């Protein structure tokens, strides 16, 4: 990727190959007002696979204390979808009753997922409860691994747990056959430094076992992306994110922002086809009904747009003058705003770019029209795409 970023950036060296896991199908449907059809779910998994995302979390298959038959059917359809590389992960959140949990694991295994996920709270009232929790983690990991399916143990609310309990449960999962253990900042209350410290501690607890450490971050303090990167610094290589940052409350770390930051700021290859990301964002906005903010990093309509004449002029000479990466890398494009901040000289440059002919008499009139149309209170946004229409209007007035 072509890029022009700060030479003062720190290095970021993942401890192993990164696995990017999309959680839009689960967390996305926990977003207020969002519900996907099966056709939309299939479409999303196909697009994630085409983009090169390595893993996708599917629908939650519990409804209260009972298996959700509809969810099982949905996940079976998703697992059966022809795929190039993306791995499927099915979830269990009800882990208090081992008999029911094993029943659910048996039902999920029939769909042939790549990973079965079970979540455990790290909160416990005393040593007896801790021992019981530890036993359930071991039993669950062994049961899933015994089906020749990768086991993921998630430790809920990890970032508010007692470090000694975290180490103990991490060790229990790693020793019992879990191939991956996820640490969850369930309510988004950890700083990047806290995430890094926690991940380093977890890695030490499982040092003698080949377990992948995962990190799941929320954006309640606006730190979802920073926390995901901190997780990588701490040793996590399974990184959760959702398309457009969908998720409960304030959402999750944006999957696309994670990818573009790794590639653009740190030069780390993710294996993702970056040219597919903008279309992926648009698709999720369409099926979720939640539009992408126009200033959203990378995928917002105006993410690579300037209104200041000096910036526009510089960008016409050197694409990296006012941006760190090229928007064309992931299917985007740069746009110049037309507003009071433009100048006649820069209008001429933009006209020449589009092979439009404007006389010296027409330029001041065009500038006056732009100022009038985009005046405060009008709500009108003009870009260089409007230039042919505006130039034609000026010429018609003259005629």
pLDDT digits (tens, 9 = 90+) for 61-113: 766 667 778 888 889 999 999 998 999 999 877 667 899 889 889 999 999 99
Please give the order of strands across the beta sheet that includes 335-338. 305-306, 335-338, 382-383
Q: What is the mean pLDDT of the chain?
A: 93
What percentage of the chain carries pLDDT values higher than 90?
85
pLDDT (tens digit per residue) in 4-45? 999 999 999 999 999 999 999 999 999 999 999 999 999 999
Q: What is the dihedral of CA 81, 244, 237, 19, to 10 degrees?
A: 20
- The sign of the CA dihedral 206, 208, 211, 214 is positive
Residue 216's pLDDT is 98
Nearest in space to 81 (alpha carbons), one of 44, 37, 35, 30 = 44
pLDDT exceeds cutoff 60 at 399: no
pTM for the whole structure: 0.94
d(CA 239, CA 18): 7
pLDDT number for residue 64: 66
Q: What is the mean pLDDT of residues 232-248?
A: 98
The mean per-residue pLDDT over the stretch 46-65 comes to 87
């Amino acid at each position: 990727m072509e890029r022009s970023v700060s030479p003062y950036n720190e290095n970021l060296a993942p401890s192993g190959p990164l696995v990017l896991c999309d959680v839009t199908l689960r967390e996305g449907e926990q977003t207020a007002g969002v519900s996907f059809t099966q056709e939309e779910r299939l479409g999303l998994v196909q697009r994630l696979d085409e983009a090169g995302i390595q893993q996708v979390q599917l629908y939650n298959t519990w409804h209260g204390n009972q298996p959700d038959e509809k969810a099982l059917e949905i996940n079976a359809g998703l697992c059966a979808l022809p795929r190039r590389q993306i791995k499927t992960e099915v979830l269990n959140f009800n882990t208090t009753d081992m008999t029911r949990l094993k029943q659910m694991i048996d039902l999920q295994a029939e769909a042939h997922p790549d990973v079965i996920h079970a979540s455990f709270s790290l909160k416990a009232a005393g040593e007896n409860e801790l021992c019981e929790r530890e036993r359930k983690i071991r039993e669950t990991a062994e049961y899933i691994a015994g089906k020749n399916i990768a086991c993921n143990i998630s430790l809920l609310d990890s970032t508010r747990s007692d470090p000694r309990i975290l180490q103990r449960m991490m060790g229990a999962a790693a020793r019992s056959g879990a191939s991956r253990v996820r640490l969850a900042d369930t309510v988004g209350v950890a700083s990047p430094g806290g995430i890094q410290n926690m991940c380093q501690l977890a890695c030490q607890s499982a040092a003698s076992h080949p377990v992948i450490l995962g990190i799941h971050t929320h954006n309640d303090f606006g730190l979802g992306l920073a926390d995901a990167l901190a997780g990588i610094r701490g040793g996590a290589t399974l990184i959760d994110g959702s398309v457009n940052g969908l998720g409960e409350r304030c959402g999750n770390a944006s999957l696309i922002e994670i990818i573009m930051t790794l590639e653009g700021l740190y030069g780390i290859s993710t294996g993702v086809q970056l040219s597919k990301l903008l279309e992926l964002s648009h698709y999720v906005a369409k099926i979720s009904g939640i539009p992408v903010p126009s200033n959203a990093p990378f995928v917002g309509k105006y993410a690579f747009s300037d209104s200041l004449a000096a910036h526009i002029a510089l960008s016409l000479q050197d694409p990296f003058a006012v941006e760190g990466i090229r928007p064309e890398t992931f299917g985007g494009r740069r746009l110049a705003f037309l507003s009071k901040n433009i100048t006649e000289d820069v209008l001429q440059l933009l006209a020449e770019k589009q092979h439009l002919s404007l006389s010296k008499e027409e330029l001041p009139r065009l500038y006056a029209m732009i100022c009038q149309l985009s005046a405060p209170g009008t709500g009108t946004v003009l870009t260089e795409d409007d230039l042919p229409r505006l130039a034609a209007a000026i010429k018609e007035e003259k005629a």
